[in-house]
Structure formats: C-alpha cells, structure tokens
Amino acid sequence: MQCGFAFLEAGAVRSKNTVNILMKNILDSAIGGIVYWICGYAFAFGDKSNAFIGYSYFCLNDLPDSLYPFYFFHFVFAATAATIVSGCMAERTRFSAYFMYSVVITGVVYPIVSHWAWSGEGWLASGCWWDDVYYMDFAGSGVVHCVGGTAGLMGALALGRRLELQKGGESEGRRLEGHSVPLACLGGFILFFGFFAFNGGSQAAITNQGDSAVVGKAIVNTILSGSFGGLGASILSYIKLRKFSLLAVINGILTGMVAICAGANAVETYGAAVTGLVAGMVFFGVSELLFLCKVDDPLDAFAVHYGGGAWGVLSLAFLHADRGVLYEWDALSGKHLVWQVIGLLAITAWTAAITGPMFFGLRALKYVGYDALRVPEEIEREGLDVTEHGMEAYPNGGGPTAYGGAELTGVHINNAKL
C-alpha cells in the first residue's frame, strides 16, 4: 500500500516536488512504526482500557507473542491514515510540520478511533443503548479513510492554495497537472492489489472454520466495488469533459475500494456493485465541489478517502445482507443506520478537533514571523526537492525535465502544443 501511495502521489505532483513526496511516504512507515510501537497500539488495543482509550502494552511491553501479527496489521492501517494527509497537503508543506502531524495521527488520532470501533471496550464497538446495535466497519472506511480524509482537509484549509492557483496566479481557475501519468497509473495498480490484503486481511485470521469464506467474499466484493467505482467516475467525467479521463478512472476505482471497506464481509456481490458505482460518482461530485470552493487538494485525496469512506459507512447500513434497511425495513435496521451516522460524525469531529487546531496553530505562527506549516514563496516556486532535500528526482536533465526544464503535461510543454 505504501509503495502504491508513493508512486501515485509522485506522479500526481510536479517533478520539482517528487523527492519530497516520496520521502514523506517512506517516513510514514518509519515514523508510524516507531510511534505506533511506543503508544499507538496501547491506546488502540491495550488490555487495560475504558470506553475511550486503552492504556497498556506501551512499547509492546507484556504483549503476547500471538498478538504480534495483529499489531503489524494495525500499524499498517495507522501508516495509511497518515499517508492520505500527505497527498492533500502536497507541494507546499514544511517537512518539519509533516513530522508533527505524522506523529499525532499515528500515535493519537487513529489509535483512539480504532479503539472506539474495533476493541471490545470501545464505545462504538460495544454497542449503544439499543439492543444488538453497534458500529460496523470491517476494514476501515470510517476508521482509516475518514480519519485520513478529515485530517487532510484540515491541513489543506490551513495551508491555502498553491501559488499558481491563487488569485492572479498563472493557473488560476484550472487544475494543476502532475508530471507523470505512467507513475500515477503504476501506483494505482499497486494500490488495487494492496486493497485485496487490506480488506481481505481484516478478518485477522485464516485458520478458523469460515475464515477463508469471509476472506474470499471480502476480496471479490473489493474487486467488484472498485470496478464499478471506475465505471461511475468515468461516466461522469465523460459527461462533463466529453473525454474518458484516465485519472478519473484510477481515482474512481480507489474510491470504490475505499467504500467497500466497511461492508466487504457483509454485503452481497450486487451490493458491492451498487456501493462501487455510487462511490465513483461520489468521488467525482466531491472533487468538483472542492474545486468550486477553491480548496487545493493536489491528489483529490479527500474526495477519494473521505468521500468514499463516508459513503461506505452509510451504504453498509442500507445494504448489509442480514440487517440492512433495504432488506428489513424495520426499527432495528433504522437504529443501525442511526448508529452508523453517529459513528461517522464522531470520527469526523474527533479528527477535526485534534488536527484542525494543530494545523491552523502552526500556520498562525506566520504572524509572529515564522510560518511553521507552509514553506516560503521562493522555496515553493523553486520546488521542495532541492531546497528541502538537496537533490532532484531527475538530475542531469533526465526524465520529464529533459526539454529545457519544461514540465511534460499530456501534449503540452510550457503550454505550447507538441
């Protein structure tokens, strides 16, 4: 998954920021590995806990050896939540600020949400005041993707738009293109494959009776939802642009796979098809809405992850094969829908309440002479690779900058048609 995110994000940014985004994707694993070991797993799944948080197994102290695979699996989920944020904030964020938000998300925000939803004591998982009603989210549509999407939106709002998109900028009123469609496509394919383990592995076992059936169903539903997600996004992109957009299809497939995370084990195959088809359309609609609202999200990460995640959490309440509203249409199924909405709102509010003040607080330091969130204008124009890392992704005139340093975007070089 991290490799897929790295290639997708690298292809979607301009060549002058490629090293920076790759560095952030690699360090998501490194920082997440350290912080989740120190406190993340303890907050999420400590055997001493209450409805809000766990508080044992710090640094995996006294963790039974049999739980090490479970720890590893959820560390990967924590790193994924942080990676989503790097996409929303690409091309203009200080590297030091990246360190801070990566620590906070993998060490505090995501672990506590996962405790609520996936531990035995968490208030969302243990049920509400209604009988047999609890939050359902098999592989993290809300727990992982809505957390990452919400945090990313907070960061994007605090940062503001990239210089070229600001009023009077050379690209005002249009989208900035990345430097490598093949890289983005490769990243998309790697992510498609990674989602099979992401969703299928959420069963967290394979040796018990019935495990293989659940894993198989989750993988098949993931394929179907992703496929229909690509179809939904491509239909709307063609209606708007009169062209079939490759990037819209990639993001539509990813959104479909994000949406089915919640119910990959619990919906029929036609339910997965409906989930994916709507998810692709949700992606396109949310992406266009953010563009109209002048929110700069270089990778459409909020549309993919929060849009798909929120729809996935809600669609499960309608399409659950045993208790969905569209199947039962009774008071209990309605209560399940209400509890899913409560869970979604709680996850969104918690993430925004922690990350919003952090991002806006870092940005507010500019009023005392140092913007701790956004790089200076001259660094942003030159690119973060050389200024932040002292290297280029394509040195010596190679790669996409071979033509006199010009960016290759489709059939244009510096806006002149080839």
Sheet of strand 408-409: strand arrangement: 408-409, 412-413, 416-417
The answer to whether the Cα torsion of 198, 200, 206, 210 is positive or negative is positive
Average pLDDT over residues 239-255: 93
As a whole number of angstroms, the distance between CA 5 and CA 13 comes to 12
- Alpha carbon 1 to its chain centroid, in Å, reads 11
pLDDT in tens, 296-329: 999 999 999 999 999 999 999 999 999 899 999 9
Average pLDDT, rounded, for the chain: 91
Give kind and range of the element (H or E) at residue 409. Answer: strand 408-409
Look at residues 28, 268, 276, 256 and name the one whose alpha carbon lies nearest to residue 145: 256
As a whole number of angstroms, the distance between CA 105 and CA 118 comes to 17
pLDDT in tens, 104-135: 999 999 999 999 999 989 999 887 777 778 99
Please state the CATH superfamily assignment of the domain spanning residues 1-50+58-379 in this structure: Ammonium transporter AmtB like domains (1.10.3430.10)
pLDDT in tens, 257-310: 999 999 999 999 999 999 999 999 999 999 999 999 999 999 999 999 999 999
Tokens of 72: 């590893």
Share of the chain above pLDDT 70, in %: 94
- Name the band, by pLDDT with cuts 50, 70 and 90, for residue 81: very high
pLDDT in tens, 222-233: 999 999 999 999
6 contacts 26 by C-beta, under 8 angstroms: yes
Judge whether residue 409 has pLDDT over 50: no
pLDDT in tens, 129-165: 777 789 999 999 999 999 999 999 999 999 999 999 9
Residues 6+ apart with CB under 8 A from 351: 109, 113, 146, 147, 150, 151, 154
Residues 6+ apart with CB under 8 A from 55: 42, 43, 46, 48, 49
- Alpha carbon 227 to its chain centroid, in Å, reads 19
What pLDDT shows up at residue 347? 98
What pLDDT shows up at residue 82? 93
Judge whether residue 404 has pLDDT over 50: no
Of residues 169 and 356, the one with the higher pLDDT is 356
What pLDDT shows up at residue 167? 84
- Name the band, by pLDDT with cuts 50, 70 and 90, for residue 416: very low
233 contacts 251 by C-beta, under 8 angstroms: yes
pLDDT in tens, 342-361: 999 999 999 999 999 999 99
Residues 6+ apart with CB under 8 A from 306: 145, 146, 148, 149, 150, 152, 153, 286
Cβ neighbour number for residue 131 with a 10 Å cutoff: 8
As a whole number of angstroms, the distance between CA 54 and CA 45 comes to 6
Cβ neighbour number for residue 34 with a 10 Å cutoff: 13
**Beta bridge pairs of residue 408:** 413
Taking each helix axis as running N to C, give the angle between helix 2-12 and helix 18-35, from 0 to 180 degrees, rounded to the nearest 10. Answer: 150
Domain spans in the chain, listed from the N-terminal domain onward? 1-50+58-379
Dihedrals φ, ψ of 80, to 5°?
Answer: -65, -45
As a whole number of angstroms, the distance between CA 189 and CA 198 comes to 14
Helix/strand/coil for 49: strand
Judge whether residue 398 has pLDDT over 60: no
84 contacts 149 by C-beta, under 8 angstroms: yes
Give kind and range of the element (H or E) at residue 182. Answer: helix 181-200
284 contacts 248 by C-beta, under 8 angstroms: yes
254 contacts 308 by C-beta, under 8 angstroms: yes
